[in-house]
Chain A
Amino acid sequence: MDEAQKPYTEGPMHSTAPVIDPGLTFASVTDKISSIVLKRKTSLAWFFGFAISFALFQLMMLAITNLLFVGIGVWGVNVPVAWGIDILNFVWWIGIGHAGTLISAILLLLRQRWRTSINRFAEAMTLFAVAQAGMYPIFHLGRPWLMYWLFPYPNTMGIWPQFRSPLMWDVFAVSTYATVSAMFWFVGLIPDFATLRDRARSKPFQILYGMLAMGWRGSARHWHRYEMAYLLLAGLATPLVLSVHTIVSFDFAVGIIPGWHATIFPPYFVAGAIYAGFAMVLLLTIPLRRFYGLEGFITMRHMHNMAKVMLATGLIVGYGYMMEAFFGWYSGNKYERFMIWNRMHGPYHLYYWALILCNIITPQFLWSKKIRSNLLALWIISFIVSIGMWLERFVIVVTSLHRDYLPSSWGMYQPTVWDWSMFIGTIGFFFTLLFLFIRFLPMISIFEMRTILPEAEVEE
C-alpha cells in the first residue's frame, strides 16, 4: 500500500484533540493531499457514487424540461399555497451553503486555526449548494424565460425592477453571495493549483492546472499580495454570511401572512442556516474522511468543534421556535394565535412535531462528549438535523400559507412527483459536482495545512 493511502490510526482521546496529526510534515501533507487527485487510482466506489449522482442529475434535467414544456402546474403549488417545496428547497439549499462562508471567512478573521482543514471542502459545498438554490427562484417562475427581467438592465421598455420587493433583494443577495463565494474559493485554490501543476504527470493536466494557477510562482511578493487579497475577500464575505439569509428571511418577514410576518426571522434564519450548514459539512466530512484516510487532517477536534457550533445554533433555532409560539400567544392577535394552533394541531401538525423532534430534541445529545466522539452518532444527528431544517422551511412556507385570513380560501398542498424529482435531482446535481470536486481538486487546502504544522511555527 502506498504511503499516502495508509489509513491514519487515531491515538487515544485527549481532552483537546490536535488540529492536525502531529506526525505530519510539509512534504507528507503535500503528498497526501495531492495524491488523491494525481496519483491515486480512481476507485470503483467513486464511479459508483458518481453514476448514481449523475443519474439523479439527469432526473433533474428531465424535471426541468417537463416543467418548461408543460408549465409550473406540474408542481403541487396552488392558490393559497403558491410557494411550495420549490421555495422551501431554495431556502434549504441556501442555508446549507452558509457553513462554507462562515468557516472560510469569519473563522479566518477570528483566527480559528482548526478551520483550515475543512474550509476548502466547506466552500465547495457552499458553492454547489448555492448553485442548487439558485435554480429554484428561476424555475419557480411562471415564465422562467423572462427571469432576466428581475435584473436591473437598461431596456427598451424603459422600466426598472421593483426595488421594494424582497425578491429583488434576493436577486442581489444570492448573486453577490454566489460570486463572492466563487471568487473566494478560486483565490484560495491558486497556490494549490500551482502545486498540482508542478506535480501533475500528464501533459493535459499540467496545462489545465497551469492555466488555473494563473502563473503562480510562490514568490514572496506573490504571497504578500495573495494574503492581502485573501483577507480582503474574507472581509467582503463576512457580512454576506449575515446578509444572505437575512434577506432570504425577508421574503417571508415582509409578507403579511401570519407565520411569515415576524421580526425574529432574520437572526433565526441565519442561525438556522449555520445550523443546517454545519450539519451538512459533518454529513459529508465523516464518510469522506474515512474513505480518503484524512483523519490526520480532519481530526476529532474538528468534529467536536463542528458539533458544538451545531449545538449552539440549534439552541438559537430552538429559541426561535419558542419565541414564535410565544409571540403568537402574547400578541393577542387572533390570526397569529390561530397560526400557532394550526401548526401544532392542524392538518400539517406531524410536520411541526417532527421538526421539534429533529431540531430541538436531537441536538441535545450533543451536550454529551461521548456522543460527540462517536462518529456514527454524529453523522446520524447531522442527518436528522438536515431533515429537520427542511421540515422547518416546510412549516414556515406551507403551513403559514395554507390557512391564512379568510377560511373560505384555505386549502391543502401536496407536492407532486415532479416536485420530488426536481428536489432529488438537485441533490443528484449537488453530489455530481461534489464527486467531480474531490476527484479533480484538492479537497483540503495544501498550503494552508502546511501553515498549521509545528514546522511552520516561527519563533518571534
Chain B
Amino acid sequence: MHEHSGEPHTSNRFYVAIAVILAVLTAMEVMVFYVEALRPILVPLLMLMMAAKFALVVMFFMHLKFDGPLLTGIFSWGLFIAVAIIVALMALFGKFSA
C-alpha cells in the first residue's frame, strides 16, 4: 500500500498541471513544424520536446521519480539498449552520413 495522500506530487491539481504542460509542449512541437525559419534546428528542438514529454509522463504519471532506484534502473536499461540499437542500426544504414 502506498502512503500517498497529502503529498504535493500526487494531488489532482498537480496532475492537471503536468497535463497542461504536455498539451503546451505538443502545441509547441506542431508550431515548430510549421515555422519555416526554424527548419535548420527542427530536429534537435523536436527531440528535446519529445524527450521532455516522455520524461514528464514517466516520472510523474508513472510515478517513477518517487519509486525506488530499481524500477528506474529496469526501465532505463531497457530504454538505453533500445535507443542504442536504433542509433546503431541507423548508423549502419547510413542515416548519419552526408
A and B: bona fide binding partners: no
